[in-house]
Amino acid sequence: MILNTEGVIMNYIDQKLPEFSVNAYQQGATRTITTADVLGKWAVFFFYPADFTFVCPTELGDLQAHYEDFQKANAEIYSVSEDSEFVHKAWADATDTIGQVQYPMLADPAGKLARFFDVLDEDAGQAYRGVFIVNPEGQIKSYTINDMNIGRNANEVYRTLMAAEFVAAHGDMVCPANWHPGETPITPSLDLVGKI
Protein backbone atom coordinates (compact mmCIF):
# COMPACT_ATOMS: atom_id res chain seq x y z
CA MET A 1 0.00 0.00 0.00
CA ILE A 2 1.38 3.43 -0.93
CA LEU A 3 0.76 6.08 1.76
CA ASN A 4 1.49 9.78 1.70
CA THR A 5 3.07 11.59 4.68
CA GLU A 6 -0.35 11.88 6.36
CA GLY A 7 -0.93 8.13 6.12
CA VAL A 8 -3.61 8.46 3.43
CA ILE A 9 -3.72 5.88 0.63
CA MET A 10 -2.44 7.31 -2.64
CA ASN A 11 -3.31 6.24 -6.14
CA TYR A 12 -0.99 4.10 -8.24
CA ILE A 13 -0.84 6.13 -11.46
CA ASP A 14 2.81 6.67 -12.47
CA GLN A 15 4.11 4.56 -9.56
CA LYS A 16 7.06 2.44 -10.68
CA LEU A 17 7.28 -1.30 -10.37
CA PRO A 18 9.36 -2.55 -7.45
CA GLU A 19 12.38 -4.75 -7.94
CA PHE A 20 11.06 -8.30 -7.89
CA SER A 21 11.95 -11.84 -8.86
CA VAL A 22 9.24 -14.52 -8.99
CA ASN A 23 8.85 -17.99 -10.38
CA ALA A 24 6.44 -18.59 -13.24
CA TYR A 25 4.90 -21.37 -15.26
CA GLN A 26 4.66 -20.98 -19.03
CA GLN A 27 3.80 -23.61 -21.60
CA GLY A 28 5.21 -26.67 -19.89
CA ALA A 29 8.22 -25.04 -18.27
CA THR A 30 9.09 -23.03 -15.19
CA ARG A 31 11.19 -19.88 -15.28
CA THR A 32 12.07 -16.83 -13.23
CA ILE A 33 10.69 -13.42 -14.14
CA THR A 34 12.21 -10.21 -12.80
CA THR A 35 11.46 -6.52 -13.08
CA ALA A 36 14.11 -6.30 -15.80
CA ASP A 37 12.23 -8.90 -17.87
CA VAL A 38 9.06 -6.79 -17.75
CA LEU A 39 10.63 -3.48 -18.78
CA GLY A 40 10.93 -2.46 -22.43
CA LYS A 41 7.36 -3.29 -23.51
CA TRP A 42 3.86 -2.74 -22.19
CA ALA A 43 2.74 -5.15 -19.47
CA VAL A 44 -0.61 -6.24 -18.08
CA PHE A 45 -0.50 -7.66 -14.54
CA PHE A 46 -3.71 -9.66 -14.14
CA PHE A 47 -4.29 -10.78 -10.53
CA TYR A 48 -6.87 -13.45 -9.73
CA PRO A 49 -7.79 -15.28 -6.50
CA ALA A 50 -6.70 -18.88 -7.07
CA ASP A 51 -6.12 -21.78 -9.42
CA PHE A 52 -8.73 -24.56 -9.62
CA THR A 53 -11.60 -22.13 -9.07
CA PHE A 54 -14.63 -21.04 -11.08
CA VAL A 55 -14.47 -17.48 -12.43
CA CYS A 56 -10.66 -17.52 -12.81
CA PRO A 57 -10.42 -20.01 -15.70
CA THR A 58 -13.04 -18.07 -17.66
CA GLU A 59 -10.94 -14.92 -17.31
CA LEU A 60 -7.62 -16.55 -18.18
CA GLY A 61 -9.25 -18.26 -21.16
CA ASP A 62 -10.68 -14.92 -22.32
CA LEU A 63 -7.21 -13.36 -22.11
CA GLN A 64 -5.73 -16.27 -24.07
CA ALA A 65 -8.35 -15.80 -26.80
CA HIS A 66 -7.04 -12.22 -27.21
CA TYR A 67 -3.36 -12.92 -26.50
CA GLU A 68 -2.27 -12.45 -30.10
CA ASP A 69 -3.79 -8.95 -30.09
CA PHE A 70 -1.88 -8.05 -26.93
CA GLN A 71 1.36 -9.34 -28.46
CA LYS A 72 0.80 -7.30 -31.63
CA ALA A 73 0.37 -4.27 -29.37
CA ASN A 74 3.87 -4.88 -27.91
CA ALA A 75 2.41 -6.03 -24.60
CA GLU A 76 2.90 -9.07 -22.41
CA ILE A 77 0.26 -10.48 -20.09
CA TYR A 78 1.31 -11.71 -16.65
CA SER A 79 -1.42 -13.53 -14.76
CA VAL A 80 -0.69 -13.61 -11.02
CA SER A 81 -2.09 -15.61 -8.12
CA GLU A 82 -0.81 -16.72 -4.74
CA ASP A 83 -0.37 -20.27 -6.03
CA SER A 84 3.06 -21.77 -6.76
CA GLU A 85 4.34 -22.42 -10.26
CA PHE A 86 3.80 -26.13 -9.60
CA VAL A 87 0.10 -25.58 -8.89
CA HIS A 88 -0.09 -23.56 -12.11
CA LYS A 89 1.38 -26.55 -13.96
CA ALA A 90 -1.03 -28.97 -12.32
CA TRP A 91 -3.94 -26.70 -13.28
CA ALA A 92 -2.73 -26.50 -16.88
CA ASP A 93 -2.35 -30.29 -16.99
CA ALA A 94 -5.82 -30.87 -15.54
CA THR A 95 -7.86 -28.20 -17.34
CA ASP A 96 -8.16 -27.75 -21.10
CA THR A 97 -8.79 -24.00 -20.80
CA ILE A 98 -5.66 -23.37 -18.74
CA GLY A 99 -3.64 -25.85 -20.79
CA GLN A 100 -4.05 -23.47 -23.74
CA VAL A 101 -2.65 -20.42 -21.88
CA GLN A 102 0.56 -19.21 -23.52
CA TYR A 103 1.42 -16.14 -21.43
CA PRO A 104 3.44 -16.38 -18.18
CA MET A 105 1.55 -17.38 -15.04
CA LEU A 106 3.40 -15.76 -12.14
CA ALA A 107 3.63 -17.48 -8.77
CA ASP A 108 3.32 -15.15 -5.78
CA PRO A 109 2.89 -17.48 -2.77
CA ALA A 110 4.66 -15.02 -0.44
CA GLY A 111 2.30 -12.25 -1.56
CA LYS A 112 5.06 -9.78 -2.46
CA LEU A 113 3.50 -8.62 -5.74
CA ALA A 114 -0.03 -8.70 -4.36
CA ARG A 115 1.05 -6.54 -1.42
CA PHE A 116 2.86 -4.03 -3.64
CA PHE A 117 -0.24 -3.66 -5.81
CA ASP A 118 -2.40 -3.73 -2.64
CA VAL A 119 -4.71 -6.49 -3.90
CA LEU A 120 -4.01 -9.13 -1.25
CA ASP A 121 -6.83 -10.21 1.05
CA GLU A 122 -4.61 -11.17 3.99
CA ASP A 123 -7.31 -13.25 5.70
CA ALA A 124 -8.08 -15.32 2.59
CA GLY A 125 -4.48 -15.44 1.34
CA GLN A 126 -5.84 -14.62 -2.11
CA ALA A 127 -5.64 -11.66 -4.47
CA TYR A 128 -8.56 -9.51 -5.53
CA ARG A 129 -9.13 -9.24 -9.28
CA GLY A 130 -6.71 -6.42 -10.09
CA VAL A 131 -5.60 -5.32 -13.57
CA PHE A 132 -2.56 -3.05 -13.82
CA ILE A 133 -1.36 -1.70 -17.17
CA VAL A 134 2.31 -0.75 -17.02
CA ASN A 135 4.27 1.20 -19.64
CA PRO A 136 7.69 0.11 -20.97
CA GLU A 137 9.40 2.30 -18.37
CA GLY A 138 7.68 0.38 -15.55
CA GLN A 139 5.09 3.02 -14.60
CA ILE A 140 1.48 2.10 -13.87
CA LYS A 141 -0.83 3.89 -16.31
CA SER A 142 -4.19 2.25 -15.53
CA TYR A 143 -5.64 0.00 -12.88
CA THR A 144 -8.94 -1.51 -11.81
CA ILE A 145 -9.69 -3.77 -8.88
CA ASN A 146 -12.76 -6.00 -8.62
CA ASP A 147 -14.01 -8.06 -5.71
CA MET A 148 -13.32 -11.78 -6.03
CA ASN A 149 -16.73 -12.71 -7.41
CA ILE A 150 -16.74 -10.17 -10.28
CA GLY A 151 -15.13 -11.37 -13.51
CA ARG A 152 -13.46 -9.09 -16.05
CA ASN A 153 -13.50 -8.63 -19.81
CA ALA A 154 -10.34 -9.03 -21.94
CA ASN A 155 -11.78 -6.73 -24.61
CA GLU A 156 -11.93 -3.85 -22.13
CA VAL A 157 -8.43 -4.56 -20.82
CA TYR A 158 -7.17 -4.50 -24.42
CA ARG A 159 -9.11 -1.33 -25.25
CA THR A 160 -7.65 0.41 -22.20
CA LEU A 161 -4.15 -0.75 -23.14
CA MET A 162 -4.57 0.65 -26.65
CA ALA A 163 -5.81 3.97 -25.26
CA ALA A 164 -2.82 4.14 -22.90
CA GLU A 165 -0.44 3.42 -25.77
CA PHE A 166 -2.15 6.05 -27.97
CA VAL A 167 -1.94 8.74 -25.28
CA ALA A 168 1.73 7.88 -24.65
CA ALA A 169 2.46 8.38 -28.35
CA HIS A 170 0.20 11.45 -28.81
CA GLY A 171 0.44 13.40 -25.56
CA ASP A 172 -1.57 16.33 -26.94
CA MET A 173 -4.64 14.13 -27.54
CA VAL A 174 -7.03 12.30 -25.23
CA CYS A 175 -9.24 9.25 -25.70
CA PRO A 176 -12.98 9.68 -25.02
CA ALA A 177 -15.31 7.03 -23.61
CA ASN A 178 -15.40 3.81 -25.63
CA TRP A 179 -12.52 4.97 -27.85
CA HIS A 180 -11.01 2.24 -30.03
CA PRO A 181 -7.93 2.35 -32.29
CA GLY A 182 -8.74 4.10 -35.57
CA GLU A 183 -11.44 6.27 -34.04
CA THR A 184 -11.07 10.02 -33.68
CA PRO A 185 -9.44 11.15 -30.43
CA ILE A 186 -9.96 14.58 -28.89
CA THR A 187 -7.40 17.39 -28.99
CA PRO A 188 -8.25 19.56 -25.97
CA SER A 189 -8.71 23.26 -26.76
CA LEU A 190 -10.72 26.24 -25.59
CA ASP A 191 -12.87 25.89 -28.71
CA LEU A 192 -14.24 22.57 -27.39
CA VAL A 193 -15.18 23.75 -23.91
CA GLY A 194 -18.91 23.18 -23.40
CA LYS A 195 -19.35 21.65 -26.86
CA ILE A 196 -18.77 17.97 -26.17
Give catalytic residue positions: 56
- From residue 163, alpha-carbon distances to 46, 49, 141, 183 in Å are 18, 27, 10, 11
77: which strand partners?
44
Of 178, 125, 183, 132, the residue nearest 156 (C-alpha): 178
Q: For the purposes of burial, counting CB atoms within 10 Å of the CB of 91, is it exposed (0-12), middle (13-18) or buried (19 or more)?
A: buried
